[in-house]
Copies of this chain bind each other. A is one copy, B any other.
Amino acid sequence: MSIAYSGAMPAPSRIHRDQVVAAARVLLERGDSALTMQAVAREVGVRAPSLYKHVRDRDDLVGLIRDATIVDLTEGMLEIDAPSASDRIIAYARHVRAFVARWPLGSQLLFQRADAHSTRDLLQRAAAPVVRTCAELVGHPHALDAARTLTAWVYGFSRMEQADAFNLGHDTDRAFEFGLKTIVGTMTPTR
């Protein structure tokens, strides 16, 4: 045997917090009431009380889901690399829409009141690529305002779409592209 091992050695953790959070994210998508500590525990092959070695309580777990969701979204944003700034903005918006469609419940946590400083940092990091690209398009003085306008719209639209509000159902893609063109149009004056 390659590694010295003693039977009296403390038991190494069989699970990692990331696995817990990942399992919880999936369960949440089956509805808020599906996210029970027992279900999460079963999913990671352990009993419910063991989870409290990795998360403080259920609220803490939900907070961790939120953080993981923001990080996941950010990673997708960072993979986007289009030549022109306006193409990049468009790609960002489409990515957010697809992300919300993939994690409808999880993405609802994004803009839930967040007191935790760390969460606010993560949100800021997620927004950075959009703000940067907006700066290229409209200059620094209005970059932040423009980025917020785009973000608010794309988030709101995606949420409405998931809720199937306003009978958006019929032609969602067309409706999305209309709004996108409208918003991006204000950043790229015809020349």
Contacts and interface: CB of A to CB of B under 8 A. Distances in A.
A113 B111 CA distance: 17
Contacts of A166: 123-124, 127, 148, 151
Contact of A162 (B113, B156, B164): B113
A156 B151 contact: yes
Contact of A112 (B151, B163, B167, B183): B163
Given A120-B167, A166-B124, A155 B160 contact: yes
Contacts of A151: 156, 160, 166
A148 B120 CA distance: 29
Task: Work out how many copies of this chain go into the complex.
Answer: 2
A34 interface: no
Contacts of A153: 149, 152-153, 156, 183
Nearest to A115: B164
A179 interface: yes
**A113, A120, A152 — most chain B CB neighbours (10 Å):** A152
A36 interface: no
19 contacts: A108-B112, A110-B165, A111-B156, A111-B159, A111-B160, A111-B162, A127-B166, A145-B178, A146-B182, A152-B153, A152-B154, A152-B157, A152-B159, A153-B183, A155-B159, A155-B160, A156-B156, A183-B183, A185-B186
Interface of A: 104, 108, 110-114, 120, 123-124, 127, 142, 144-146, 148-149, 151-157, 159-160, 162-168, 175, 178-179, 182-183, 185-186
